Structure 1
Amino acid sequence: MSGAVSKPGLSVGADGVRNVTRTLPDEVPVAVSFDGTTLAVMMATPNDIEDFAWGLALTEGVVTEPDDVEDFEVVTHETGIEARFWLKSDKAEVLKARQRALMGPVGCGLCGIDSLEGALPALPAVTAELRISREEVARATDALRAHQPLHDRTRAVHAAGFFVPGEGLIMAREDVGRHNALDKLIGALHRAGIDPAGGAIVLTSRISVEMVQKTARAGSSVIIAASAPTATALSLAEGANITLAAFARGESFDLYSHPHRVTTGASDVA
């Protein structure tokens, strides 16, 4: 599965109608199961499925260390893809506590959650004290733009990247769902042995509650996004000790919550 499919269509404009062929992003049902029980079924781009499954397992709190997993496999079916985890016996109760069905439209990170209280659980306070310059924050989304080959082909997917101060953007993942892209990135970092505390999460999307939750559980202390945070996401970030930089484009950005990590040159901020 390539992640994109070419389809015919009609282009209608002021100068008439013409036949076109467009490259469109693909999405398939991806089931993530643990010990034979499905935790989530999400519509996702069928690339980097191992990264996606591991990222979801980590951000849902079912898996915290590689040793938690006895076995893992990805199985392709006619109707979709299944990522199967087999856990060590002591993780069974954690799985039961986090059990929920997430079958729903792409981009919905809370579909099917069992209780309203479960939507906003307490987040761990991030302890990483990253320092990143104003110039690096301002150019982070532009750097991510250069790592979006699927977007270049389709103009219809999100991306999440990992920016390390002094090194730049070292990794990125794409998906039709912004939550999925972030899960893929977190899973890829985990599988590569890269500590998320050492860099900033960069997003093409707005900063919603789920994006802050996933970042906090990964242990990264800075989010840089091309769009805005929601008010609730900002409140969560404040409580979780996460710095939010929004509307990062060109030479400028807005800075919210724990701005001390960004060296702006202004004494009242930095």
Structure 2
Amino acid sequence: MSLGSSPPIIESAASDEEAARLCYEDQRQRPLREFEGPSELPITLILNDTAMATLLATPESLEALAIGHAYTAGWIERYEQIERLERSRLRHGLAIRMTVPPRLAAQAAEHAPREASVSSCGACGAAEEAQIMAGLVRLRTVPPLSPVALQRGLALLKDHSRRGQHCALGLDDSGEVMSVGVDIGRHNALDRVIGDSLRSGEWPRAVLLSSRCSLELVQKTVRAGITTLATLSSPSAMAVEVARACDLNLICCHRGSRLELLSGQAPD
């Protein structure tokens, strides 16, 4: 460019016409009752007289959530150890009180997080790494759910999904739905499926989740003895590492576009 020539014209990111169309829709005064998003409340889980955890969860089917969380957290070893379930209202949320033998309550309280967790993730607030890794064992070696069955489950996942919430499906050998867990938290959705399985005594062949896979999803699935876990998007590296150590069949479905077997046994 020679001296005295005009500088180049740098075009803006959006033309004036486009800029006129780009604006925020002001909803700041919209009444809360008009919002259609998923509901959530703080749900406090109590063993006997001890508050063990507070989860942000969808306030539906809370008994299944409480049972599943108590089992995957290691508070109980089987459903029959819960002598009574009671639901009550707190100032801002709800409480689920589980009455168990005093020995179990004392053991659970001894290993409980030192800080309360207001989260859909039960591992948040854990005082020690060992608490997160608790319950990890090597599963019996079985092939994963067949790709045909998993594709059937993926199709059914769309039917059970709700906007703004995670969905967990317990699937049988053919990919048909045995149990459904829907919640704003993916960990809570899985706990609901596990809780229903504990109550019914019928366990799924696989669990399919509408989320990415984190370490705690692997931990909960392994503790429940379910041998196949499939999620829609990519897992964390630690989730894969632990899944491989436990012989869990971990599958990434890539939103249904392709199926990746990341750990476990070779298909039949």
Provide the TM-score with structure 1 as the length reference.
Answer: 0.81
* Kept after mapping to 2: 8 A contact 1:162/1:172: yes
User: What is the deviation of 1:202?
Assistant: 0.4
> Which residue pairs with 1:246 in the alignment?
252
> Which residue pairs with 1:215 in the alignment?
221
Unaligned runs of 5+ in 1: 1-12, 264-270
Alpha-carbon RMSD across the aligned residues, in angstroms, is 2.4
Q: How many residues align?
A: 244
1:79-126 deviation line (CA, Å, top 9, x unaligned) = 111010111133244313432256445343322112233333361222
> Which residue pairs with 1:268 in the alignment?
none
1:18-52 deviation line (CA, Å, top 9, x unaligned) = 88954111110100010110110011110110010
Helix, strand or coil: the match of 1:170?
strand
User: What is the deviation of 1:62?
Assistant: 1.0
Amino acid in the other structure paired with 1:247: C
> Which residue pairs with 1:168 in the alignment?
176
1:2-22 deviation line (CA, Å, top 9, x unaligned) = xxxxxxxxxxx6599588954
1:103–1:26 distance in 2 versus 1, CA, 3 Å: farther
1:141-179 deviation line (CA, Å, top 9, x unaligned) = 23212112xx1xxx2111111111125122211111111
Matched, 1:91 2:99: no
Matched, 1:144 2:150: no
Q: State the distance in 1 between where 2:84 and 2:62 align.
A: 16
Q: Which moved more, 1:53-62 or 1:183-192?
A: 183-192
Helix, strand or coil: the match of 2:128?
coil
1:169–1:130 distance in 2 versus 1, CA, 3 Å: farther
1:113–1:135 distance in 2 versus 1, CA, 3 Å: same
Residues 26-175 of structure 1 correspond to what in structure 2 (within 5 A)?
26-100=39-113, 103-121=116-134, 123-127=136-140, 129=142, 131-148=144-161, 151=162, 155-166=163-174, 168-175=176-183
Structure 1 or 2: more strand by fraction: 1
Amino acid in the other structure paired with 1:123: L
1:108–1:251 distance in 2 versus 1, CA, 3 Å: closer
Amino acid in the other structure paired with 2:53: A
* Kept after mapping to 2: 8 A contact 1:24/1:156: yes
Amino acid in the other structure paired with 1:81: L
1:254–1:30 distance in 2 versus 1, CA, 3 Å: same
Helix, strand or coil: the match of 1:33?
strand
Unaligned runs of 5+ in 2: 1-20
Q: State the distance in 2 between where 1:43 and 1:103 align.
A: 12
Q: State the distance in 1 between where 2:23 and 2:73 align.
A: 51
* Kept after mapping to 2: 8 A contact 1:141/1:204: no
Helix, strand or coil: the match of 2:109?
helix
Identity score, percent: 28
Q: Which moved more, 1:20-29 or 1:231-240?
A: 20-29
Helix, strand or coil: the match of 1:25?
coil
Bigger radius of gyration among the two:
2
> Which residue pairs with 1:179 in the alignment?
187
Provide the TM-score with structure 2 as the length reference.
Answer: 0.82
